[in-house]
Structure 1
Amino acid sequence: MSQPSLPEVPEVKGVLGVGIDLVHIPGLSEQLDQPGTVFAERAFTARERRDAARRADATGSLEADHLAGRWAAKEAFIKAWSAAANTRAGHAVAPRLSPEAVDWREIELIGDRWGRPSLRLTGTVADAVTASLGEGAAASRRWPVSVTHDGDWAAAVVLYIGS
């Protein structure tokens, strides 16, 4: 039986941006449980919601536990992107997208067959990342992500690896 192939590891030429975010799981759970809320549909892709539900069922945890890690990764991505754009420009630059223009579903946290997370950027977000950081900047390999949970908290760290 052959071994599964491992994901490609990018050649590190420099970390140009770092983002971190911390999410209080009970607070997110309360927001998700509000009657009439559309937060989950606007913040997460159908795949993210399915994966969170599947993990919750498999572990006996709450769906909010798994969505909190994904939300932290999305927020950490925005911070890393902003830091990378400033680093590349050599000074503070205005965001390419206003906070209101970000479609959070275009920042998708996906896992490989072993459950290791990575980011998939699409649509307007991917276009804006490319415009601000250059060709190939929206590739998943440029955005390493780590997600962790402890008690009532979920956290994520996202890097931007420049070329």
Structure 2
Amino acid sequence: MILGIGTDLCNIDRIAAVLDRHGDRFRNRVFTERELSRARSRAHEAATLAKRWAAKEACSKALGTGLRMGIAWRDMAVGNLDTGQPVMVLTGWAAVRLADMTPPGHRAVVHVTLTDDHPWAQAFVVIEALPLPGA
């Protein structure tokens, strides 16, 4: 069953301007070291971070909270499988919220997809509850 859906559209040039204006203060407030490392390895850091910004916004919407109720930017992080597929990693309050919204006898799966086409970056997040074996 679907527990939550979220989407966000982010302007890459806006993220680039924030990076120019606030630099590491912005980077370290919003992104994990793993996300920053990935962005540094890319040709277009701002596009990579804009997609991750959009994913965090989309995830907060799918969690049903937006960016309030104690959720922090760094509680939601985008990682990648060896295949390159993006995955959401939730920690802190975001993980607590996910556990609270997951019905008994189920496990939550957070699906994320990212795309960009300058000047836009977009993300969709779907949170699904799957029955546990034997439940």
**C-alpha distance in structure 2 between counterparts of 1:15 and 1:157, whole Å:** 13
**C-alpha distance in structure 2 between counterparts of 1:69 and 1:98, whole Å:** 17
- Quick check: 1:48 aligned with 2:17? no
TM-score using structure 2 length: 0.85
Q: Which residue of 1 aligns with 2:87?
A: 118
**C-alpha distance in structure 2 between counterparts of 1:77 and 1:43, whole Å:** 14
Letter in 2 for 1:101: G
Looking at CA atoms only, which structure, 1 or 2, has the larger radius of gyration?
A: 1
Letter in 1 for 2:36: R
Tell me the alpha carbon deviations over residues 54-76 of structure 1, each in whole angstroms, 9 at most, x when there is no partner: 122xxxxx211100000101100
1:103, distance to aligned residue in structure 2 (A): 1.7
| 3-state SS of 2:4 partner | strand
Structure with more of its chain in strand, by fraction: 2
Q: Unpaired runs of 5+ in structure 1? A: 1-13, 57-61, 83-94
What is the aligned-residue RMSD (CA, Å)? 2.1
| 3-state SS of 1:101 partner | coil
- Quick check: 1:143 aligned with 2:71? no
Q: Which residue of 1 aligns with 2:124?
A: 157
Tell me the alpha carbon deviations over residues 22-52 of structure 1, each in whole angstroms, 9 at most, x when there is no partner: 0000011111111466221111001100001
Q: Which residue of 2 aligns with 1:11?
A: none
Q: Unpaired runs of 5+ in structure 2? A: 131-135
Dislocated runs of 4+, deviation >3 Å: 134-137
Taking only the aligned residue pairs, the percentage that are identical comes to 36
Work out the number of aligned pairs and report it: 129
